[in-house]
Amino acid sequence: MVRLYERHRVRETEELDGIWRFSMVGTDKVYEMAVPGCWEQHPDFPGYRGKGIYSREIYSKRRGNIRLVFMGVSHTADVYFDGVKVIHHYNAYTPFSTVVKNVTAGVHQIRVEVDNTFGEHSALHIPNDYYTYGGITRPVSMETVSDVYIEHVHFTPSISAGVWNARIEASVVNLSAERQTVEVRCTLAGYVMSERAEIHGGGRAFVVFERDFDCVKPWSPKNPELYLLETVVCLNGVALDDLIERIGFRTVEIRGSEVYLNHERVYFLGFNRHEDYGGVGCAIPLQLMTHDMDLLQDMGANAVRTCHYPNDERFLDLCDERGILVWEENHARGLTLENMQNPNFEQQCGDCIREMIENHYNHPAIVIWGILNECASETKEGRRMYQKQYEQIRSMDGTRPVTSATCRHFTDICLDLPDIVSFNMYSGWYQDCSIEERNQQELEWIRQSGGDGKPVIVSEVGAGAIYGYRDRSRCKWSEERQADLIRDSLDVYMNDKNITGIFIWQFADCRVTEEGGWFASRAKCHNNKGILDEYRRPKMAYDVVKEMFETARDRLV
């Protein structure tokens, strides 16, 4: 399943999830590998960092254009169709697609060469405090598209004088050499909008509708009202293609030092959640995503930060359905200036941002775009790159605030750039200091360093504990100590009127990269700051968070 709702009623689609053939590059042995999946789950490849080849056959019922859609391949894919390379893609966390034109009826072969190696070719997937798995880790599908098909439909809601308005932009592609004149028709909440479009051969047209929508209900955490926006392209009255987007009427804005959703103040009671689950790696199936969502909501969370990369759209669909607010961010964690000066860095970041926003734009749950977690924001060169990425996001989407989680305490020179200032704080864990005093120092520094008057979020707060390790001394790494630190930290941050939200680090333990030096000092080669372990077994802190979030909801949300 690629998404949690039906995206097409005209376009023929086929999901390609299942068993593909797999071979490690340089060997002849052929395995059966599940797609989606991580090759690390196979007993022969528990820690394999290298290249692998997936292949399978597909059947085309008739001559036509085949569109292959990959929701995520970790971390680089070279896709071949009948032996011809049709697309290259870097980054495990963003979807990509390609159209193979004029495919004959019958059997064809898809081959995907996957690479999860580190090196200069990979500026974002580097040894890190999370794990870069290998494989076709998210769903794959195949579509038959007409010569004229719908590439994207973006929905931008707004409200004025109590009346909802929306701008709908459809991007329609013409694969044929001839100019085509088509009708583009959108249906939403009982309203029908239609426009003729002329598209040059090999070109694309953007068709825009803008209108009021009376009597629609807003999307909100309490009432996540969703609507289907159906777009159809017709030629001489015959439907050629369609695309169904699921949208919500909501606005998010900054007012002074607060974040507002539909003109109501928002407070984030959130978790940082890596896409990593014991036994399946980053290829989390829907039933386990749903389990995570159930646990998040059981603890009283109203928000998730997709640390540190764009997430699987099925999880974003779940957030839309459950009214869970999302801070989604581009792929980057803890990159030094040297890392950011990798010749591939700016292009790979730019591609990730573009693909994240192009594909995730319509999720009403996404209310913040983030970039560059704990990267070199204390340097002038780094600032140039932060500024460039904020500008890119704002050029693609001016409706959502932007932020970046910093750990460059007292040295960050980029706090004037984002709409929201966010900082990661581990007082009592990494620094043996008073949480309250350190918080006041941080807030004063933020005020003096370009963040004055802006909303402030504590984007990470947490402590480590080994699941099952209980100790009455409440010593470090015991569940008791983690529970104490979580309680003390939330007590400070949730009672500080200068702070408009917190995201606990982290929801569940996750695997880290042994090649990363100090990360290997982490027990089990995992980041053990989860409130649950990697198998979602709750630690003592679970009930502390549940009690404190539930109390806070009445007061803050």
In b/e form, how buried is each residue of 493-524, taking b as 16+ CB within 10 angstroms?
Answer: bbebeebbbbbbbbbbbbbbbeebeebeebee
279 — alpha (psi -120 to 50), left (phi > 0) or beta?
left
Q: Which is nearer to ligand ADA, 314 or 408 (CB)?
A: 408
If the CB atoms of residues 11 and 408 are measured against ligand ADA, the closer one turns out to be 408
Q: Which is nearer to ligand ADA, 328 or 460 (CB)?
A: 460
Comparison of 71 and 368: residue with beta carbon closer to ligand ADA: 368
Q: Count CB atoms within 10 A of the CB of residue 207.
A: 24
| Nearest distance from C-beta of residue 424 to ligand ADA, angstroms | 4
Q: How far is the CB of 407 from ligand ADA (least distance, A)?
A: 6
State which residue, 473 or 521, has the beta carbon closest to ligand ADA: 521
Q: What's the rounded Cα separation, in Å, for the pair 144 and 63? A: 10
- How far does the chain reach from its first CA to its final CA, in angstroms? 33
What is the rounded CA–CA span in Å between residue 226 and residue 219?
Answer: 7
Instruction: Name the minimum Å distance from CB 372 to ligand ADA.
Output: 11
Q: Which lies closer to ligand ADA via its Cβ, residue 68 or residue 307?
A: 307
Residue 370 CB, nearest approach to ligand ADA (Å): 11
The span from the CA of 137 to the CA of 75, in Å, is 9
Radius of gyration for the alpha carbons in the chain, expressed in angstroms and rounded: 24
Alpha helices in 266-324 (DSSP H): 286-298, 313-322
CB of 402 vs ligand ADA, minimal distance in Å: 17
Tokens standing for 94? 């963003």
Sign of the alpha-carbon torsion through 112, 115, 120, 123: positive
Q: How far apart are CA 31 and CA 55, in angstroms?
A: 11
Tokens of 230: 């159906």
Q: Measured between alpha carbons, how far is 122 from 196 in angstroms, rounded to an integer?
A: 44
Give min distance, CB of 482 to ligand ADA, in A: 12
Write out the residues near ligand ADA by the rule CB under 6 A.
Answer: 129, 307, 333-334, 373-374, 407, 424, 460, 505, 527, 529
Strands 325-329 and 366-370: parallel
Q: What is the DSSP letter of 542?
A: H
| Spatial distance between the Cα atoms of 93 and 550, rounded to a whole number of angstroms | 32
Number of continuous H segments (helices) and E segments (strands) in the chain: 8, 30
Q: Closest approach of Cβ 506 to ligand ADA, in Å?
A: 7
- Looking at the Cβ atoms of 92 and 307, the one nearer to ligand ADA is 307
Query: Least distance to ligand ADA from the beta carbon of 204, Å?
Result: 38
Beta carbon of residue 330, minimum distance to ligand ADA (angstroms, whole number): 14
- Of the pair 113, 533, the CB lying nearest ligand ADA is at 533
| HEC secondary structure over 379-411 | CHHHHHHHHHHHHHHHHHCCCCCEEEEECCCCC
Is the Cβ of residue 129 or residue 351 nearer to ligand ADA in the bound state? 129
d(CA 203, CA 175) in angstroms, rounded, equals 7
Rounded least distance, CB 333 to ligand ADA, Å: 5
- Least distance in angstroms from the C-beta of 307 to ligand ADA: 6
Strand ordering across the sheet containing 252-255 = 252-255, 258-261, 264-266
Which of 193, 466 has the CB closer to ligand ADA? 466
Tokens representing 546 are 């549940």
Query: Which residue lies nearer to ligand ADA by CB, 135 or 516?
Result: 516
Tell me the residue number closest to ligand ADA, measured at CB: 129
